[in-house]
Amino acid sequence: MVDLPEIQYAIDPESLIAPDLADSEYPASLELLRKLKPAEDGMTGRTVDGKPVIKFHGLVASLPDPEEEPEYQEYAFDLWQTLKVGDKELRPSTRMLVPAKSLVSQTDGRGGEFATWLVDELMKTTTNGNRSLAWQASPPPLYQEGIKVQTPWLFKFLRDPMQLRHTTVLRMPQFNMSEAEAQSLANYFAAVDHTDYPYQQITQRNTPYLEHRAKVSDLPGPEAYLDESWKVLNAPLCIKCHSVGGRQVTVSDPKTDIRGPNLDLTVDRLRPDWLMLWLYKPQWVTPYTSMPQPLPRGKVAFPEVFGGDPETQTISLRDALMNYHRLMESQGKFVYQPAAPAGNAGQGGE
């Protein structure tokens, strides 16, 4: 699915609630969201039965119950964009509740017919009706793929697909593209999302950036900053669900524990800003994801690293992943065991 479905419905805009920033969310995350996913105007300029018609892009979360009376039937959609309705701003992952009687139109996305069918099939046969888990096992939407992946990586992936996700029920096939075809397609995703290609500068690998991060973290230099960042990446957090640092993740129950992608692929695959937004608020990127916010604001996970500041630790996670090869060479296989919090001797430091 290259473009997401568009839903139009009639509603009094005053009934829409624009959420405040949650206690667990960082102000910087909202700035980054607006940079990567600028707010789009949801007003169509039309009215139905005296109510304005708004439009948005999203995926269905639940369908109306046919057993209910028609006036009570309701659709639920997960918003995938930043939406401006009047003076209100709705963020991705907002649950849009649309009364069936107010639905004006529902336009299919571009592509994704097989993925949509597979989601419905997996809900019946595998996920016990859980639509989010069914999407996690299906081909993902390629909405805003250009701001997500590094173009050189995408070129290589199109030529020689590798396994990325361990939750899917199928693998991307080999399409035997020529180099010109693969490069053209990789460039397309970057161009359509108005981002740099075919090459991207990874600022987080440059000495001036690392010196700045070391200074604001009160550390003696870039190496010390990266060493501390490596601790966060290899602490009992990411390693619960991801293979990282030369260690394979152990999933105790495949039916309930979700294994995430191997993090050693991140360094060449993902763009730094996209990765930063993902770490800040995964649901703003992919509403159906099971990934939680790793280091919420106001919750101290590792007090002895970066002074226990969760936002600095979140940034350091991104920087460790962007310098992954360098750190594997200097630090190697490593498991960081944080000190037990006072009063919780013998327990982990999460």
Question: In this predicted structure, what is the pLDDT of residue 247?
Answer: 87
**Where in the chain do CATH 1.10.760 domains reside?**
203-330
Question: In this predicted structure, what is the pLDDT of residue 84?
Answer: 97
Question: In this predicted structure, what is the pLDDT of residue 339?
Answer: 74
- Which CATH code of 1.10.8, 2.60.120, 2.40.50, 1.10.760 fits the domain covering 203-330? 1.10.760
Question: In this predicted structure, what is the pLDDT of residue 250?
Answer: 82
d(CA 279, CA 268): 17
> pTM for this one?
0.93
Question: In this predicted structure, what is the pLDDT of residue 210?
Answer: 98
Q: What is the pLDDT along the chain (350 residues), one digit of tens a residue?
A: 999 999 999 999 999 999 999 999 999 999 999 999 999 999 999 999 999 999 999 999 999 999 999 999 999 999 999 999 999 999 999 999 999 999 999 999 999 999 999 999 999 999 999 999 999 999 999 999 999 999 999 999 999 999 999 999 999 999 999 999 999 999 999 999 999 988 888 999 999 999 999 999 999 999 999 999 999 999 988 988 999 998 888 877 766 678 899 999 999 999 999 999 999 999 999 999 999 999 999 999 999 999 999 999 999 999 999 999 999 999 988 888 887 654 433 333 32
Question: In this predicted structure, what is the pLDDT of residue 335?
Answer: 82
Question: In this predicted structure, what is the pLDDT of residue 290?
Answer: 93
Question: In this predicted structure, what is the pLDDT of residue 340?
Answer: 63
